Structure 1
Amino acid sequence: MARPIVGSIDLSPVRCLVVDDNAHMRKLTATILYGLGIKDIREAASGDAAIKVLDEFPADIVILDWVMAPEDGITFTRRIRSKTESPNPFLPIIMLTGHTERKHIEEARDAGITEFLSKPVSVKGLAQRILSIIDKPRPYVRNSNYFGPNRRRHDDPKYAGTDRRLRADASAPG
């Protein structure tokens, strides 16, 4: 007998917002979420619509597409992470995309994406990202260039802080 994807974790209290300008992909993602046990799901077709939904709906997780018009998922994420208009700058964001090259993954990470999932989306892949957010929440960091989830997946005992490069530059001779 196959093991359930989410095990014994009850995802019914989780509230999700799905943001995608493609209605078919929004419905597909919402159907997957519903199948995982998430019942409180809202949808938005654009970044502006998503902000309006978030003003009224306290989502626990946003799942969004990268390629959208007029505002892409990276721009939306930066709005959520850095603008005063953000309803919740600490909101976990899962980005769905077909752009899986390293430079795109790094760009998404540097914008403040919490989790990254390549298309085509699988039930297992989406479940794993949601469980990662729940089971292993990452602390948020702020420095002069970034605010968002800690980009380091593992603790590094040699890590010297968020502004270590600035301190190193200031103490360098010459």
Structure 2
Amino acid sequence: MIVDIDFGPVTVLVVDGNAYGRAFLRSALQSFGVRRVVEAADGDAAVAALEAERIDVVLVDAEVAPAGGTELTRSLRRGRVAGRAAVPVVMLSEAAEPAAVAAARAAGITELLVKPASAESLYRRLRDALVNPRPFVAAESYVGPCRRTVALVPPDQGERRTSPPLPAPPPLVAVPPGVAHSMVRRAQAEAQLADRQDGSDRILYRHFKAGESIFAEGAPGDEAYVIQRGRVAIEKEVGGQPVRLGEVAAAGVFGEMALIDGEPRMAAARAIEDTTCLAISKAALKAQLNRTPDLVILVVETLLHDIRKMGRELVEARSRIRVRREGGD
């Protein structure tokens, strides 16, 4: 496991009635670099801690007294602690049945971690909650992070939202550059150094107007891009319609994975506003990978993390479908 973000400024509240459970979580968090861990043995103590100081994320056991982690989460989402309704909540539970998962999601949890949990799985959930926060929904029937993992209309019910989708909030911690991103930046630095030394024109700055396509889904991956200014949308076509997967802002990197595996682009990129990018060639990027073999291990770890995340989302989707079917029987 590689810890690639700075947890130093993060304060974590651990809510668990079992002293051993709290000790395990505290030890794991400290190994990630978390300096401030606040402990609470029950829900009332957790509320007091949230009222007393700034908490960035809550780890709560599903069975914590007096009413359980699900009810504690629901009460927080409904304003039990002023100004803290949107605090990320990661629940640890021994129950993985569809009904239990659905109830936790309906209460407004951010992430669910099934026990027994490893330090690595805890790190992944914590990282996702802080680096990829979801829009916060405040409606009569539900309060909590948006439960949609992709911007797709439910195929069996149609669009139920009456308002446009909420924008994704910014990360709660500094976003890591990523494995492939580091290779792109090293290739960028070396190309800039070579330009200064021999006056060659290895660096290409590309300018895109708002709405202009940068590359299409399925196109060859011949360049990666570092955004100098502007914003770029990453989109994928689903059912004949473009679905926005995310946005990349200034200093961000995109288009790098197609250079590594040689496969066509898995998604399209489009300028949201007037954008200037520095283009890095495939040859420069692969040369950096060849000079640093250890990066291959990091690439594999990153891909495995993405596969695990997709697996979790698939389990959640199946659970939702099963609950709907059982409710209709």
Calculate the TM-score normalised by the size of structure 2: 0.46
Q: Identify the residue that residue 131 of structure 1 maps to in structure 2.
A: 127
Q: Alignment length, in residue pairs? A: 159
Residue 15 of structure 1: which of 6, 11, 16 is its match? 11
Query: Post-superposition shift, 1:135?
Result: 1.9
- 2:67 aligned counterpart, secondary structure: coil
- What residue in structure 1 maps to residue 3 of structure 2? 6
> 2:26 is matched with which residue?
30
Task: Deviation per CA, 1:70-94: give whole Å up to 9, x if none.
Answer: 2210111011000344450000000
Q: Matches of residues 13-92 of structure 1 in structure 2 within 5 Å?
A: 13-92=9-88
Task: For 1:129 and 1:26, locate their aligned partners in 2 and report how far apart those are by CA, in whole Å.
Answer: 17
Q: Is the 8 A contact 2:70 2:107 kept in 1?
A: yes
Cα separation, 2, equivalents of 1:124 and 1:159: 37
- Preserved CA contact (<8 Å) 1:21 1:68: yes
- 1:56, CA displacement in angstroms? 1.3
Q: Against the structure 1 CA distance between its residues 38 and 85, is the aligned structure 2 distance closer, same or farther, given a 3 Å change threshold?
A: closer
> Residue 106 of structure 2 aligns with which residue?
110
Which structure exhibits the higher relative contact order, with contacts defined as CA atoms closer than 8 Å and separated by 6 or more residues?
1
CA RMSD of aligned residues (A): 1.6
Tell me if structure 1 keeps the 8 A contact 2:13–2:55.
yes
1:148 aligns to what?
144
Match of 2:161 in 1: 161
- After superposing on structure 2, the runs of 4+ consecutive aligned residues of structure 1 that deviate more than 6 Å are none
Please state if 1:120 is matched with 2:116: yes
The answer as to whether partners of 2:14 and 2:60 remain within 8 angstroms in 1 is: yes
After TM superposition, give the deviation of residue 106 of structure 1 in Å.
0.8
* Structure 2: unaligned runs, 5 residues or longer: 164-329
Q: CA 1:162/1:11 → structure 2, altered by over 3 Å: closer, same or farther?
A: farther
Q: Which amino acid aligns with 1:44?
A: A
The whole-number CA distance in structure 1 between the counterparts of 2:54 and 2:81 is 15
**3-state SS of the aligned residue for 2:13?**
strand
Instruction: Tell me how far apart the structure 2 counterparts of residues 57 and 162 of structure 1 sit (CA, whole Å).
Output: 37
Contact 1:93 1:114 in 2 (8 A): yes
Give, in whole Å, the separation in 2 of the partners of 1:11 and 1:65: 21
AA aligned to 1:15 is: T
Amino acid at match of 2:2: I
Structure 1 86/79 Cα, relative in aligned 2: closer, same or farther at 3 Å? farther
Higher-Rg structure is 2
SS of 2:46's equivalent in the other structure is: helix
In structure 2, relative to structure 1, the CA distance for the partners of 1:137 and 1:44 (3 Å cut) is same
Relative distance call for 1:81 and 1:70 in structure 2 (3 A) is same
Tell me the alpha carbon deviations over residues 96-148 of structure 1, each in whole angstroms, 9 at most, x when there is no partner. Answer: 01001111111100000000000011111111111111221100112221100
Identity %: 37
Q: 1:84 to 1:71 in 2, by over 3 A?
A: closer
Amino acid at match of 1:107: A
| Counterpart residue identity of residue 120, structure 1 | P
Deviation at 1:160, TM superposition (A): 4.5
More strand by share: 2
Cα 1:96–1:55 change in 2 (3 A) is same
Residues in 1 aligned to 2:44 and 2:58: alpha-carbon distance in whole angstroms: 14
Whole-Å Cα distance in 2 between the matches of residues 26 and 162 of structure 1? 42
Aligned partner letter, 2:161: G
Is the contact between residue 50 and residue 81 of structure 2 (CA under 8 Å) also seen in structure 1? no
